[in-house]
Amino acid sequence: MIKARYSQCEYDSCVYFKQSDDLTYLLLYVEDMLIAVKNKTHIQELKAQLKKEFDMKELGEIKKILGMKITRDRGSGRLWLSLENYVLKVLDKFNMVEVRPVTTHLAGHFKLSSKQCPQSSKEDKEISRVLYASAVGSLIYAMTCTRPDLA
């Protein structure tokens, strides 16, 4: 993309952009690609250029990328991103589908104690089914993309 005179974003190395009469954005994540530009002619030109270099499959207008569902309302110029299915899969993976949501943060004065630790082998087995770091990492992905309220 650099050879094609696109600039790479300094904040996200997967984002490229080029200013001509319109600003063109190209997002590349492994084998997923998203092109954003007002002029459809620029999209066709970029696709033709990329097809010369890479084996590409045309999937049409985007509906989903990186697990995010994309909904557009062209009339109002609005766009919605949703990770609902991703979050449901994460909850299922970590056996947390039935957990109750909590709307408040844990208070700073709250102290954890050993009495809150598993008291039986059954409780210990239940807790070990939740891989804490992996679960938190999965939720951080959702928080970063579409759900800052999860922070």
pTM reported for the whole predicted model: 0.61
144: three-class secondary structure by DSSP: helix
Q: Which residue has the tokens 């909590």?
A: 102
60-106 pLDDT per residue, tens = 888 888 888 999 898 998 989 898 888 889 889 888 888 887 777 77
- Does the residue 77 lie in any domain? no
Whether residue 2 is found in the same domain as residue 34: yes
Whether residue 52 is found in the same domain as residue 87: no
Whether residue 97 is found in the same domain as residue 143: yes
Looking at the structure of the chain, the number of domains it has is: 2
Residue 9 predicted with pLDDT over 90: yes
Higher per-residue pLDDT: 131 or 79:
79
| Structure confidence at residue 22 as a pLDDT band (50, 70, 90) | confident
Residue 123 tokens read as 């409780």
- Does the residue 71 lie in any domain? no
DSSP per-residue string spanning 16-84? EEEESSSEEEEEEETTEEEEE-S-HHHHHHHHHHHHHHS------S-SEETTEEEEEETTTTEEEEE-H
